[in-house]
Structures are given as C-alpha cells and as structure tokens.
C-alpha cells in the first residue's frame, strides 16, 4: 500500500459549548490542511465519520458540509459505524485511493455531544446496540460490565487492574494539551468512584466529549520533510453481531481479532513489532480485552501487565493510549477513530512532545463500534 | 469498468406497519441473493445506504445488522447522504471492488419511515438541509417550491407541466406491483389537490414510504444466463452546498450536472444514448430540472416535452421513471437510490413486465440528497 499521511490535526477534546459541529469540523480541517502544507484544492474527495449528528444536532448529510467549509465541490461521503465511524471513514478513504479514483483525500471524524442532556446522549448511544439490548434497558456501561465480569471470572482480572488502565491513561492525558481530562488520577480514586454498572465505576468509563480530528492521506503528493513521512501499511475492518447475546464469548471481541490478524498480515508485522498503539478504551476493560485480542498479551495476562506499568510511558515495549485514550483524552464518538490516527502520526513523526514514545517506528490504531459489532485496525510506520 | 449486476430485488414500497427496518432489509437481501443464484458466503462486503434510522428507529451501525442477517462477518459499511444514501452506497461499493479488496459486494438501501408521526418525519428530513433552512422553518416542499417558482419565472414552466410528471409517474406505478401508489391519477386531480407550498400541491410531492432494495455486484462471478448480464459503465458523485441560499442558481442542480457529465464521459455515452432513466423526482419540478441538467433537454424544454408525453411508456426516445419514481413508487429515502438500480437492471434484462421499455440498451439512475447537496449518476448497459 503506497499511501502516506500528509497532514494530521485535532481540536482539543472537551465541552465546546460555544462551538457547533460545523465549527469543530472547520477548525480540524483548516489545521490539517495547514499541517499538510497544501492548498484546499488538492483535496479530491472527503470522507467524514460521525455517529450522532442526526439524533443530537438534527443534521445529516455531513459530507457536503465538510466540502462546503473547504470551498470544494468534490465527492464527499459520510460513514457511520457508531464509535468506529472515524476508523471506518479512514478505511473507506484508503479504499477510494486504492480504487484509482483519487490521489489525495481528506478524512474527518467529528462529534458534538455536550449540547444535549446526558440522558438523551446515553439513549442515543444505544443506537449502536441491538434492538433487544435497547428494549431491555441496557446501557453501554452495563454491556461492558458484563464483559468485565466474565473476564474477571474466567481470568481472575481484578478491579485494581481495571483501575490501572484509567490511571495510566489519565497520566498520559495529563501530558496532552488536547485532552478533555488532562489530569492524573490515583487508583484509590478510581476504586472509590461511584458504581455505574458493577464492576465498572465512574472512573472506569470514558467521558462524553465534543471534538473533531482530521488527516489528509495521499498516494502522490510529496512530503517536503522526509522525517515527517508516515506510511499506512494496513487498514482492515471486520464485523460481529450487534448484540452481545449472539456472541460466542464475552471475553474477546471477534471483530477485533479478525481485523487485527488481517492487518498484521497485510502490513507484514507482528504484535511485538508495534511500539505504540491507540486502543479503543471506552471502558477500562475494553483496553485489557484489546491488548489480548490484538496479540500483545495472552488471555488473562493484560490486566497484571497493565498494573505493573508495562504499557505506560517510560516502560520498554508497547506503550498504549499516549493521547489518554477514550478514557482521558475524551470520546467524541465519530472523532475518536481519526484522533487515533492523528496521535500515532504525531508519535511516528517524533512530534509527541512530553508524551513521545522514544524511537517509535510502528504504530497501531484500534477503533470499535458498539460492543464490537465493528472493529477497524490500522497500522502505520515511519 | 468491469462490474456486473449479479442480482437485484426490492420489497414492495408502502406502509409496512407490520415489518421492522430489519425485516425489510432481510426480505430485500434474501430475494437478491436468490436472484443472483449464489450462496451468501460469496458476498465479501456489505454497503448499506440509510438516512433516518438513528432519528426514527434509534438504530445506527446498520452495516453489522445486514451482515448478521446474512450470517456473515464481513466488512459492512453504512453510507449516509440523505436521500442519496442508496446511490452513494452503490458508488462506494463499486469503489471497494475497484480497489481490489473484493470481487462480490452486496449493496442495500433501506428506510422505515411510517412508524412515526408525519411531523416528526418531516422534521427529521430537514436534517438533509442547512442550519439556516432548519432554523427558518423551511420544509423540503418549501425549498423545492422556491426552485419551481424560479423555473416557472425563468422558463415559463407551468403547473400543468409539473402535473404531467405526476400523471406519467402514477401511470407507470400502476404497472408496477412494487409501487406504493399503484394507481393512475388525472392532471385535474393534481391541479385540484391541496397546496403544500405554492406552486407545489399534494400530488406534486413524493410520499413517505417504507422499503428496502438490494443489488449484488461482482467483478468475477459468472452470470449463468448471458441475457441477464448487466454492466455498470459509470457511477459518479458530486456535491454542492447544503443550503439553497449559497447556490448560484435555483433552476439547476450543479451537483447533478457535474456528476452527469463525469458519468457520460466515463461511460463513453451521450444523453441521447440513454433509453430509460430513473430520475430523482422527490417533487415534480425535480424531474423537470433533472431532465435538463442531465442533458436530455435544453433548459425550459423539459416541461413542454413531459406534457406532450415524450417521456411516457410507449413514446419514442428516453422514458423516465418506469418504476413510478419517488413520486408514485414511493420514497423510502435510503432505499430509493438502490431501487433505481433494481428498476434499470430489470429493464435492461427485459424483465420490466408491463412497464418494459422495448429494446432498452442503456439506462441511467439519478439520485439526489437534500436539495442537491449530493448527486449520484450511474449508467448501466446490457
């Protein structure tokens, strides 16, 4: 695959009450075009990942909105796959270049969530699940709590290990000026925070954020500085049932496993080659399951390793969620998958600043829709 | 482009109060797989076009839902571009084959609209427009009425000419067992129907429908019967501003013009080569503007020609909307773009039954999002 990242940028994630979805999209796009050092008219197509704009903002057909903001009349396509909308938009943009249609494409992920009451947002998010889940009143914390409980019973994973994911990701976020929750927290705080869905507590859950992220990918345009040349070497997607009840197992996400295996094969790399990864930690248990499903650890080993600090900045080996992850950087759902690409791009360019993983050569992004109905795995290298 | 239509089918369009979105999708998919004469496991990816499921049914992430219904775990992507969602899903599915990723792909368009109060649906549909349009209380009939008025003032188009579009499309629908409104109407009825947004009356407007349509496209699988070989020779998309206020002209859709010109060039055909076309007639004026924007008639000529019966079954030259169009076959928004492909496929196979256009060799589908922010033009041949 001969596709490079030409530009990458993200807005700060947070509660942007004074900015609309369109404002956030504009901000991310303009900064990305600037980072790419090109003029808008080099962009031949636009892909945007967004989940909830219809329900929360009454705005669909976001493709033309992005094109309009850039003064373009190019093909503009909105992709929706719940929380994997951003990653899937990336996947489709790559396909569009591989099809020979375009050489340079803009990918945007965006979500505006905080203008609505939290109850409405929580209900809207359940649109990612199955009918049965919605009708039974399940929420996403409840569904992930089922997975956490199953993982604890099968592998002995502990609440302290789950808390260690949150502690690590908040530490990373404290080094990230774009994070929604840029402050460190302690394990005791996580464990003492209010129960949301046992065993998940408030500080095991990602927050509700606004934000937009964008990248420009190209098969042709030259990147002026050779040091900033980041190549996409795989981007694969797989699906699973919408609902948990139809799954073979609660302790793994089959879509993650399939997408991961396909991506490793396509890229010609192994899990041990990955230096830095953005994993889909919508809840702390999700990062632990992802670490295992993507082959970084054997089943049951991820919890103890995270507790030991194996994936924290400064450790040797794979470092995860340097952005702070969904947990602490924030989770504007459609933006997340693209923000992951932005973060890994910065890391591979050596532009990670205080949160730089020294010598990072190969990075991975893992973006999940719902409880794993969609998973996208992207691998990049410098 | 070496992509063929292997299978095509649609549910009846109408008020399916006893069927869910999932039921409609299942029905369309199973009939399409049967029409293709293949087993489900030949399908390597799924694209689904849908606009309103999040707002009206609380269900997003429809890709995995379709895959699940077919017992597949393949990449499954939802595309949203308002009323052009189906056509754009087709466009993206074609790109995915051209990228070399897949050989055989299922494309579905689906919408469930009638379970909600009409006021809610009308508001939901405004998600296809601009913020300013929504905030000013504009509805889609009002926006298309502005276009109709401008067209009447500039070209002398009359209400009787508009009515002729409805009369023709209802006549065609009366021959289509899958149509929502399968009965003929008279010009006097259209002219006497209640004003919705002057000059558009009730019978100038397409209805609110439920339905799902699907096609299977392939670059490899053999079609047993040579007579049933339908090739896609172009599929192009263009965009314009979301809102009417930013447009250069109210009497043409620039996105239609651009997508049409690109499609003719790609296919190597001219407007006069098209024997049968499904045009996006969400309102009668829209078919008249499309006939002109796609080069079938000069500006101002389409109205008189339609009134003369030039585009009605039995006439010589281009016949439009043999399905009944959005106007009379019904307009389940996400389904429409795919239903157009199904109708043209049937026509080119000679399976049009009572509504067959004799000797049809080349067909065109034209699918529009909102008031023209997205337009997709697809050309097929036998």
Question: Could you report the per-residue pLDDT of B194-236, keeping only the tens digit for each?
Answer: 999 999 999 999 999 999 999 999 998 777 676 678 999 999 9
Share of chain B above pLDDT 90, in %: 96
**Cis bond leading into B314, ω under 30°?**
no
Mean pLDDT of B146-175: 98
CB of B43 within 8 Å of a chain A CB? The answer is no
**Peptide bond between residue B83 and the one before it cis (omega within 30 degrees of 0):** no
Q: What is the pLDDT along chain A (382 residues), one digit of tens a residue?
A: 789 999 999 999 999 999 999 999 999 999 999 999 999 999 999 999 999 999 999 999 999 999 999 999 999 999 999 999 999 999 999 999 999 999 999 999 999 999 999 889 999 999 999 999 999 999 999 999 999 999 999 999 999 999 999 999 999 999 999 999 999 999 999 999 999 999 999 999 999 999 999 999 999 877 767 667 899 999 999 999 999 999 999 999 999 999 999 999 999 999 999 999 999 999 999 999 999 999 999 999 999 999 999 999 999 999 999 999 999 999 999 999 999 999 999 999 999 999 999 999 999 999 999 999 999 999 999 9
What is the complex's ipTM, to 2 decimals? 0.96
Distance from CA of B149 to the nearest CA of A (A): 25
Q: With an 8 Å Cβ cutoff, is A315 touching chain B?
A: no
Q: What is the pLDDT of residue A222?
A: 72
Q: List the beta bridge partners of residue A379.
A: A234, A364
**Residue A58 DSSP code:** S
Structural tokens at position B157 = 């188009």
CB-side neighbour CA atoms (13 Å) of B150: 17
Instruction: Supply A32's token pair.
Output: 């990305």
Residue A215's pLDDT is what?
A: 98
Ordered by where they begin, the domains of chain B are 3-117+209-227 (3.40.47.10), 137-207+231-381 (3.40.47.10)
DSSP run (H or E) holding A21: helix A21-36
Q: Which pLDDT does position A63 carry in this prediction? A: 97
Whether residue B85 is predicted with pLDDT greater than 90 in this model: the reply is: yes
What is the per-residue pLDDT for A87?
Answer: 98
User: Is the pLDDT score of B276 beyond 90?
Assistant: yes
Smallest Cβ–Cβ distance between A58 and the set B63, B91, B126 belongs to: B126
Which tens digits make up the pLDDT trace of B307-325? 999 999 999 999 999 999 9
ω into A199 cis (within 30 of 0): yes
- For residue range B138-160, list pLDDT tens digits in order: 999 999 999 999 999 999 999 99
**So what's the pLDDT on residue B166?**
98
pLDDT of residue B289: 98
Question: Does A239 contact B124 at a Cβ distance shorter than 8 Å?
Answer: no
pLDDT at B6: 94
- Of the candidates A310, A306, A319, A302, the one whose C-alpha atom is nearest the C-alpha of residue A358 is A319
pTM: 0.97
Catalytic residue among A83, A235, A282, A365: A83
Q: What is the pLDDT of residue B29?
A: 98
Q: What is the per-residue pLDDT for A62?
A: 97
CA pair distance A285, A304, nearest whole angstrom: 12
pLDDT at residue B211, as a whole number: 98
Query: What is the per-residue pLDDT for A220?
Result: 87
Does residue B24 carry a pLDDT above 80? yes
Question: What pLDDT is recorded for position B222?
Answer: 72
Mutation choice for B interface testing from A3, A20, A48, A54 by most B CBs within 10 A: A54
Instruction: Give A248's contacts in chain B (Cβ within 8 Å).
Output: none
Centre a 10 Å sphere on the Cβ of residue A117 and count the other Cβ atoms it contains. 8
State both tokens at A139. 């929420």
Interface with A, mutate which of B69, B95, B249 (most A CBs under 10 A) = B95
- pLDDT at position B232 is 98
């Amino acid at each position: 695959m001969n596709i490079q990242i030409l530009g990458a940028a993200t807005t700060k994630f947070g509660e942007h009450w004074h900015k609309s979805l369109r404002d956030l999209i504009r901000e991310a796009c303009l900064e990305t075009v600037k980072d790419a050092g090109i003029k808008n008219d080099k962009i031949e197509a636009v892909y945007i990942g967004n989940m909830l704009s219809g329900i929360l903002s009454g705005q669909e057909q976001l493709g033309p909105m992005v094109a309009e903001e850039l003064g373009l009349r190019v093909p503009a396509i909105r992709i929706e796959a719940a929380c994997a909308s951003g990653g899937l938009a990336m996947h489709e943009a790559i396909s569009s270049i591989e099809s020979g249609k375009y050489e340079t494409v803009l990918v945007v992920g965006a979500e505006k969530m905080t203008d609505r009451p939290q109850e409405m947002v929580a209900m809207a998010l359940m649109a990612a699940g199955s009918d049965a889940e919605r009708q039974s009143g399940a929420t996403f914390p409840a569904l992930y709590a089922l997975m956490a409980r199953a993982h604890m019973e099968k592998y002995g994973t502990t609440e302290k290990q789950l808390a260690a994911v949150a502690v690590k990701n908040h530490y990373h976020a404290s080094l990230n000026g774009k994070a929604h929750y840029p402050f460190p927290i302690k394990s005791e705080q996580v464990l003492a925070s209010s129960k949301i869905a046992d065993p998940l507590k408030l500080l095991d859950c990602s927050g509700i954020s606004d934000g937009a992220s964008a990248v420009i990918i190209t098969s042709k345009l030259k990147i002026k500085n050779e040091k900033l040349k980041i190549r996409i070497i795989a981007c694969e997607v797989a699906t699973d049932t919408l609902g948990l009840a139809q799954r073979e197992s609660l302790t793994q996400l089959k879509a993650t496993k399939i997408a991961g295996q396909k991506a490793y094969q396509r890229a010609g790399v192994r899990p041990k080659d990955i230096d830095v990864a953005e994993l889909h930690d919508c809840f702390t248990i999700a990062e632990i399951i992802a670490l295992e499903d993507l082959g970084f650890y054997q089943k049951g080993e991820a919890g103890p390793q995270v507790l030991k600090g194996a994936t924290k900045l400064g450790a040797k080996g794979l470092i995860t969620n340097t952005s702070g992850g969904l947990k602490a950087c924030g989770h504007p759902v459609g933006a997340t998958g693209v923000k992951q690409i932005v973060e890994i791009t910065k890391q591979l360019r050596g532009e990670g600043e205080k949160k730089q993983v020294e010598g990072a050569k190969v990075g991975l992004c893992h973006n999940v829709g719902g409880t794993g109905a969609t998973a996208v795995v992207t691998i990049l290298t410098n």
